[in-house]
Structure 1
Amino acid sequence: MGQMASNRLTIRQIADLAGVSIATVSRVLNGRDDVAPETREVVTRVIRENGYTANRSARGLSAGRTGLVGVLVPLIYPAYFSGMLAGASEALAELDMQIVLSPTAGEHDREVSVLDKLHGVTDGALMMQPEESSAELVRLLDEGYRFVVLDPLMPLDQRIASVSAAHTSGADQAMRHLLDLGHRRIAQITGPRGWVATEDRRRGYYAALASAGIMRELTLEVESIPEIAPGRAAAELLLDLAEPPTAIFAFNDNIAIGVIQAARDRGLRVPEDLSVVGFDDVEHATVVSPTLTTVRQPLAEMGRTAVSLLNRLLERQRFETLHVELATRLVVRESTAAPRASA
């Protein structure tokens, strides 16, 4: 078997040499106790005989780690996901770990297939807005695979590690800014109903209205998917009301940009006739005219924090919480102002 020692062996090659499955090798490397002693001895002997201390990958294997981390992301190019990806990649590089990047297009079945392939050939995974249900993710956890969810779409079981932003606080900051400017008729364009971020930001919106003694109006709440064109369509519904809002709080920056477009189509000026606040603070927020007042999510830091949390899981460290929520911050730019006196 020693003839392969000079090569960078993969887990698949280890499995072939030992005559076992990739999953079995992974269980041995990760110190799982659900492997027969005879099988564990065979796999350990293959590892030892093939000199796994000869290079970085080998050292990782001898320590029970491959040095590979799967990163599942719906899409790579939107600034939102790329921001988290940039932070995660930097943190992984600092740990001398490599990314196995797997775009899923936000498709459930594709995501399940990718995870099935990653399980056994990577140490663990970072999952951005996974489509799997909490029950599906718990089953994956029970199989021994370690992962961290970034910005979960739906509520998760308490056993699932996650990193998110303080959505409710961010919405409260946005609303208080508009209220302090003098706005009282403030509309909300939400994300899809049921999403964690949607419901948390909705709570911040409601709480701010209540604290100002303003009654909720259902006509001032419109749902949208977080893209520019749907955001524009949602804004059109609000701006066509008999008594339109003087300000709109948008679920994300894409929707906010759609709002600005809809206002211009109607000859309205932002912020003179309509104030607009977004959420995320991606690069587009500083490119659009007027520049966008928005709530900043610490996207790169979310990626870095997720890597730190995953590494601690892989090292079986003890820690107080599996759920990290990072602070959000309002960034005031040109798209908000006091309402016109006649408004």
Structure 2
Amino acid sequence: MTGIREIAIEAEVSPATVSRVLRNPELVSEEKRLRVMEIINRTGYTPNSLGVGLRKAKSNRLVAIIPDAISAFNYPVIRAIESIALEHGYSLLLGDTQEMVSRERSFAAMVRSRQADGILLFCPRLPFDVEPSIPLSEQLPPLVNACELVPINGLAQVDIDNALAAEDGVNYLLSLGHKRIGVVAGNLTSPSTRNRLEGYRRAIHKAGIAYDDSIVKVGDYGLEKAERATLDLIQCPNRPTAIFAFSDEMALSCISTLYKQQLQVPRDISVLGFDNISYANYCNPALTTVAQPMADIGKVCMELLLPQLNGEPMPVIKRVLKHELIVRASTGPAPTR
């Protein structure tokens, strides 16, 4: 099957030049343009409608491709997106992928079948095959990537500085005298997890504390796995005096598990979370956490998506929003032993 790459090879030009002939022919010299067009006409090639045609056929629906649509963190983000989408005449479809690549691609394919006009991508993989030599904005439908960022240049992206946010949280624990800080991390394939772990390591390194892999456990952003990770941490020979969980939901699981083991929070062990979900202020003790601006993430996603839906090119931009440390009752001075 003839594609842009094959046309480029025969015409002795780059794939990007073929793309410009199809989209912005005035930017290409007449000689190259005629050579490319002769091959296109001879082969009967028709451009992929993904990047262009779908901007013309409106379904008035958007699809959010998200690993866990019912998580306490994702709900405020999605609610903010949906509110703005409705104001502009769009309904929102939720594509809950459960971390499955096949589902990510299946939901993304909704734009091909005219079931959606744009994508809000909360997964760290681009669910399309793309040609590296051609700008992404020329190959993709309206799309914004948030929270779990695809490691590719050329996208519109929204996030916080996860490494700095984690570093700030750990620095607070260090200021309370904690020198042995355990971690309940998320999925290690997750960019946010890796960045938060980087911030943790950066903070303890600056404090002159050696990194100890034995007190870094994977909770995978799940309640049961966080429980098992907490049990592993308190069974260590030199038990941590504080636990940093990479999500509030895992932090709540940590607190529950510690109480079942007759350990008091924060008297025996302090617990720090991440996100500032609505439940964080209503548990006992109330959870100290690094807050993400969840509603603002959703709003900025729509700020970047709406112009694309109106035909403007995808902005190549990464919007980094501010985090905030919220101090509550689950953290206190390190116990003396």
Give the equivalent residue in structure 2 for 1:226.
221
Q: Does the 8 Å contact 2:104/2:127 carry over to 1?
A: no
Structure 1 residue 126 corresponds to structure 2 residue 132: no
Q: Partner amino acid for 2:144?
A: V
Give the equivalent residue in structure 1 for 2:47.
none
> Aligned partners of 2:55, 2:164: CA distance in 1, in Å?
45
Question: Map of 1:53-68 to 2, 5 A cutoff?
Answer: 65-68=58-61
Q: Partner amino acid for 1:101?
A: L
Deviation, 1:62, is 11
2:204 to 204, 209, 216: 209
Q: Does the 8 Å contact 2:66/2:97 carry over to 1?
A: yes
> Aligned partners of 1:187, 1:136: CA distance in 2, in Å?
38
Cα deviation digits, residues 145-204 of structure 1 (max 9, x gap): 12112212x642112222122211210111111111111111112112231111111111
Give the equivalent residue in structure 1 for 2:172.
177
Paired residues in the alignment total: 286
Deviation, 1:136, is 3.4
1:161 to 153, 156, 162: 156
SS of 1:323's equivalent? strand
Q: Does the 8 Å contact 2:154/2:316 carry over to 1?
A: no
> Aligned partners of 1:161, 1:296: CA distance in 2, in Å?
23
2:91 to 98, 104, 129: 98
Cα deviation digits, residues 43-77 of structure 1 (max 9, x gap): xxxxxxxxxxxxxxxxxx99765433222233332
CA change 1:202–1:210 in 2 (3 A) is same
Q: Does the 8 Å contact 1:231/1:257 carry over to 2?
A: no
Q: Does the 8 Å contact 2:143/2:314 carry over to 1?
A: no
Q: Does the 8 Å contact 1:126/1:148 carry over to 2?
A: yes
Q: Does the 8 Å contact 2:69/2:95 carry over to 1?
A: no
Question: Map of 1:76-115 to 2, 5 A cutoff?
Answer: 76-115=69-108
CA change 1:32–1:123 in 2 (3 A) is farther
CA change 1:62–1:114 in 2 (3 A) is closer
1:273 to 268, 271, 277: 268
Deviation, 1:321, is 4.1
Give the equivalent residue in structure 2 for 1:149.
145
1:136 to 120, 123, 128: 128
Deviation, 1:243, is 0.9
Q: Partner amino acid for 1:89?
A: E
Structure 1 residue 262 corresponds to structure 2 residue 260: no
CA change 1:91–1:175 in 2 (3 A) is same
CA change 1:137–1:273 in 2 (3 A) is farther
1:189 to 161, 184, 187: 184
CA change 1:253–1:74 in 2 (3 A) is same
Q: Does the 8 Å contact 2:67/2:98 carry over to 1?
A: yes
Q: What fraction of aligned residue pairs are identical, expressed as a percent?
A: 26
> Aligned partners of 1:76, 1:100: CA distance in 2, in Å?
11
Cα deviation digits, residues 238-259 of structure 1 (max 9, x gap): 1001110100111111211121
> Aligned partners of 1:113, 1:216: CA distance in 2, in Å?
41
Q: Partner amino acid for 1:243?
A: N
1:69 to 25, 40, 62: 62
Q: Does the 8 Å contact 1:138/1:157 carry over to 2?
A: no
> What's the TM-score once normalised by structure 1's chain length?
0.75
SS of 1:136's equivalent? coil
Deviation, 1:141, is 6.1
Deviation, 1:108, is 2.1
> Aligned partners of 1:319, 1:126: CA distance in 2, in Å?
13
Of 255-264 and 112-121, more deviation after overlay is shown by 112-121
Q: Partner amino acid for 1:98?
A: S
Structure 1: gaps of 5 or more residues: 1-30, 37-60
SS of 2:73's equivalent? helix
Deviation, 1:331, is 0.6
CA change 1:288–1:145 in 2 (3 A) is same
